[in-house]
Structure 1
Amino acid sequence: MGKKIQDPGLGNSSSAHAKRMMNSDGSFNLEHLNKPRRFSDAYHYLVNISWFYFFALTFLGGFLINAFFAFIYLAIGIEQITPTTGYLLNDFLNAFFFSSQTFTTLGYGALAPQGIASGIVSSLEAFLGLLLFAFVTGLLYGRFSKPKASVRFSKHLILRTFKEYNAIMFRLVNNRKSVMISPKISVTLALSKANGQGDYVNEFYALDLERDTINYLPTTWTIVHEIDKESPLFEFSKEDLSKQHGELIIMISYYDESFNQEVHQMHSYFLNEIQLDYAFVKAYYYNNDGKMVLDHKLFDAIEPVKS
Structure 2
Amino acid sequence: MSEGPVRKPVQKVIRPRVGNDRGVFQMGTSQIKRVGLGRRHWGDIYHWMLTLSWTHFFLLVGALYLVTNLAFALAFFLVPGSISNARPGYFLDTVFFSIETLATVGYGYMNPGSTYGHIVASTEILLGMVEVAAVTGLLFARFSRPTSRIMFSDVAVITPFNGVPTLMLRTGNERGNLILEASVRATLIRRETTMEGQIFTRFYDLQLEREHSGVFALTWTILHKIDESSPFWGKSQQDLHNEGATLSVAVSGTDDTLNDFVHARQTYAAEHIYFNHHFADIMSDKLEGNVRILDYSKFHDIYPDGTAGGSMPGAALAHPG
Q: Deviations over 1:13-45 (max 9, x none)?
A: xxxxxxx97647xxx956253345443322222
Deviation at 1:124, TM superposition (A): 2.0
Q: Which moved more, 1:53-62 or 1:244-253?
A: 244-253
Which of 157-166 and 124-133 deviates more? 157-166
Conserved 8 A contact 1:219-1:284 = no
Match of residue 70, structure 1, among 45, 68, 73: 73
Maintained 8 Å contact 2:86/2:94: no
Counterpart residue number, 1:15: none
Report what 1:214 is aligned to: 213
What CA distance in whole angstroms lies between the structure 2 residues aligned with 1:98 and 1:234? 73
Relative distance call for 1:290 and 1:96 in structure 2 (3 A) is farther
CA distance, structure 1, for counterparts of residue 80 and residue 158 of structure 2: 74
Whole-Å separation in 2 of the counterparts to 1:224 and 1:37? 42
Partner of 1:301: 301
Say which structure, 1 or 2, has more relative contact order (CA 8 Å, 6+ apart). Answer: 1
Cα deviation, 1:51-70, whole Å, max 9, x if unaligned, reads 22211211111111111111
Partners in 2 of 1:272 and 1:177 — Cα distance?
32
Of residues 33-42 and 217-226 in structure 1, the stretch that sits farther from structure 2 once superposed is: 33-42
Residue 10 of structure 1 aligns with which residue? none
TM-score by length of structure 2 reads 0.76
CA distance 1:59–1:230, shift in 2 (3 Å): same
Q: 1:69 to 1:244 in 2, by over 3 A?
A: same
Q: Retained in 1: the 8 A contact 2:81–2:114?
A: no
SS of alignment partner, residue 45 of structure 2: helix
The 5 A counterparts of 1:45-56 are: 45-56=48-59
Q: Give the SS at the match of 2:231.
A: coil
Name the SS for the 1:210 alignment partner: coil
Letter in 1 for 2:68: I
Counterparts of 1:55 and 1:114 in 2: how far apart (Å)? 34
Which residue identity is paired with 1:244? E
Amino acid at match of 1:106: V
The DSSP-based 3-state class of the residue aligned with 2:213 is coil
- Amino acid paired to 2:42: F
- Which residue of the partner structure matches residue 41 of structure 1? 44
Report % sequence identity: 29
Matched, 1:60 2:63: yes
Summarize the alignment of residues 133-282 of structure 1 with structure 2, pairs less than 5 Å apart.
133-282=132-281
Query: 1:12 is matched with which residue?
Result: none
Report SS of the residue matched to 1:230. Answer: coil
- Give the whole-Å Cα distance in 2 for the aligned partners of 1:263 and 1:23: 21
Letter in 1 for 2:182: P
CA shift for structure 1 position 217? 1.5
Which residue type is aligned with residue 54 of structure 2? W
Please tell me whether the aligned partners of residues 76 and 82 of structure 2 are also in contact (alpha carbons under 8 angstroms).
no
Q: Which string of whole-angstrom CA distances, capped at 9 and with x for unpartnered residues, describes residues 78-115 of structure 1? A: 772544365xxxx3333222212221223444543333
Q: Against the structure 1 CA distance between its residues 125 and 79, is the aligned structure 2 distance closer, same or farther, given a 3 Å change threshold?
A: closer
Distance of aligned partners of 1:34 and 1:228 in 2 relative to their CA distance in 1, 3 Å threshold = closer
Evaluate the alpha carbon distance shift between residue 223 and residue 41 of structure 1 in structure 2; reply closer, same or farther with a 3 A threshold: same
For residue 214 of structure 1, give the secondary structure of its aligned residue in structure 2. strand
Amino acid at match of 2:163: E
Pair 43,236 (structure 1): closer, same or farther in 2 beyond 3 Å: same
Change (3 A) 1:284 1:43: farther
TM-score normalised according to structure 1 size = 0.79
What is the alpha-carbon distance in structure 2 between the residues aligned to residue 297 and residue 173 of structure 1? 12
- Structure 2 unaligned blocks of 5 or more: 1-23, 308-321
Aligned AA (1:143): R
Q: Label 1:294 to 1:64 Cα distance change in 2 as closer, same or farther (>3 A).
A: farther
Count of aligned pairs: 281
